[in-house]
Chains A and B, each alone.
Chain A
Amino acid sequence: MRDLIHLTINGKDVEAPAGTTVLEAASSAGIFIPTLCYHEALEPEGSCRLCIVEVSGALRPGIRVSCIQEVKEGLVVETETERLQKNRRLILELLLGRSPYCKELLDLAARCGVVTSRFLTGENDDCIRCGKCVRVCRDKIGAYALCWVNRGNQRKITTDFERLSEYCIGCGSCAQVCPTGAIRMEDRGNERKIFTWGQVIARFTLEPCAQCGRPFAPKKYLERIREKAYKPKGLELVDAVCPECIKKKETMPPAVTDLSRMQFKVW
């Protein structure tokens, strides 16, 4: 058991294990802090800046980014001061400057009272450069299909040499974690396409389900799962079955039915 740290968020006493962040402590105490670039499964990067909070007490008083600020004993945190709201509105305006039609941003902006942005650039790519897709592809999937290129206002997410990626396995995690829908995945017939605002990242032919025959997953993706999945001893992994068929127990292939009857030792 890790040591518990005591801090105050919006006047409420909160306990959090050492090493956690202010954002995590707040959400476990039921206090909402807006954020776009935070994901509980990923290393925080602090790039969207929306989760700013005001701190005092254990730290030099000022504004901190709560998703990368560790909790400290005796820390006093405020999440909704006037100064923060003003700053958050500015950040939203800056984010909107580049993605003026992004639904998620517009919703947040409406909630914070932002009507228009003073920083419109004429660009419209929905990407807020939070890097979630790069982080999930690199740290969780291990495919290393996405990367950052260029610097400053030219910075963007792409594949190696900006071509169809041969490293992408078509899992769609990037589209899943993207807070604004800038990276999308689309299955049409037996083809899967992953694309951003200006580039198709990867294309795949979908393999058919062994049960119903519906195309449902790319070969590379299934291979990766076979490689990574926990395989009980003496049990071969069966043919790829789509999620719908897995749910219907009666249509399960024999090996999977066996699995459900097997007694597993709890380790």
Chain B
Amino acid sequence: MDVAAVDSILTKYPETKGNLISILHEVQNRFRYLPEEELRYISKKTGVPITQIYSIANFYNRFTLEPRGKNRVCVCLGTACHVKGAERIMNEMERVLGINTGESTDDLSFSLEEVRCIGACSLAPAVVINEDTHSKVTPKQIGQLLKKYQQTSSPKA
């Protein structure tokens, strides 16, 4: 467990009340998920019962208790994207990455999620990878697209 990292986050929030979600956000940004040990440590330090923290971590979509890939792939399945064939994009993503929606690849380079409308309906079907939005994606482009992220992420790892 990375005590120093969690401690440095906790010192930013002397008042726990009302800050728990911000703390969890920072922990998730640091570790890409909410590790159990770290959550138990936060509970001990802040006095918030672990059941309450677990409940919050479970409730919000943004939080995940499973390790997530370095690259977060979100396929929009909102109405407009659905009409424009987002289902096919999703199937192709699953096929290329070899995982199901909501899972991460074994080497933790990619995780695949579905989202419901990202407000980019004019770009449908849209795919968001990390912070970049890709518009009018076709199943053919996907292999190429993912390769780009695979390459850029590998030197860092």
A binding-site residues for B, Cβ under 8 Å:
138, 144-151, 159-161, 167
Contacts of B51 in A (CB 8 A): 144-147, 159-160, 167
Asked if residues A160 and B59 are in contact (CB atoms below 8 Å), the reply is: no
Nearest residue in A to B54 (C-beta to C-beta)? A160
Question: 24 A-B Cβ contacts within 8 A?
Answer: A138-B49, A144-B49, A144-B51, A144-B52, A145-B51, A146-B51, A147-B52, A147-B54, A147-B55, A148-B55, A148-B58, A148-B59, A149-B58, A149-B59, A150-B58, A150-B59, A151-B59, A159-B51, A160-B51, A160-B53, A160-B54, A167-B49, A167-B50, A167-B51
The 7 closest A-B pairs by CB, nearest first: A144-B49, A147-B51, A149-B58, A147-B55, A160-B50, A160-B54, A160-B51
Total contacts A-B at CB 8 Å: 31
- How many B residues touch the partner, as a band? 10 to 19
B41-62 contact mask (Cβ, 8 Å, vs A): 1 or 0: 0000000011111110011000
- Nearest-CB distance from A168 to chain B (Å)? 10
Main SS class of interface, B: helix
Contacts of A146 in B (CB 8 A): 51
Contacts of A161 in B (CB 8 A): 36, 54
Contacts of B49 in A (CB 8 A): 138, 144, 167
Nearest residue in B to A148 (C-beta to C-beta)? B55
Could you say which of B49, B51, B58, B59 has the most chain A C-beta atoms within 10 Å of its C-beta?
A: B51
What 11 new A-B contacts, CB under 8 Å, besides A144-B49, A149-B55?
A: A144-B52, A147-B51, A147-B52, A147-B54, A148-B59, A149-B54, A149-B58, A150-B58, A151-B59, A159-B51, A167-B49
Could you say which of A148, A151, A159, A160 has the most chain B C-beta atoms within 10 Å of its C-beta?
A: A160
